């Protein structure tokens, strides 16, 4: 999955962007929980990283 697609999914699920460190990482928050997500534009997010992020998102 491309980085931009992952970020769109997070926003669609109700996560709000609270911080962007330069261009490489973004912090999202929902219900007091914060997750850090890599952002590299059109590059692919490694499969394991993507699965871990989506697992964290779906736990809420």
Q: Where are the domains of the chain?
A: 3-58
pLDDT reading at 59 higher than 80: no
pLDDT digits (tens, 9 = 90+) for 12-42: 999 999 998 777 899 999 999 999 999 888 8
Q: Which class is domain 3-58?
A: alpha beta
d(C-alpha 26, C-alpha 60), whole Å: 19
Contact 8, 21 (CB under 8 A): no
d(C-alpha 26, C-alpha 38), whole Å: 6
pLDDT reading at 60 higher than 70: no
**Which pLDDT score is estimated for 10?**
93
**Which pLDDT score is estimated for 34?**
92
């Amino acid at each position: 999955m491309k980085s931009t697609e992952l970020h769109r999914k997070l926003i669609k699920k109700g996560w709000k962007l609270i911080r962007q460190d330069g261009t490489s990482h973004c912090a999202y928050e929902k219900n007091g929980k914060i997750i850090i997500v890599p952002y590299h534009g059109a590059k692919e997010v490694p499969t394991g990283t993507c699965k871990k992020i989506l697992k964290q998102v779906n736990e809420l």
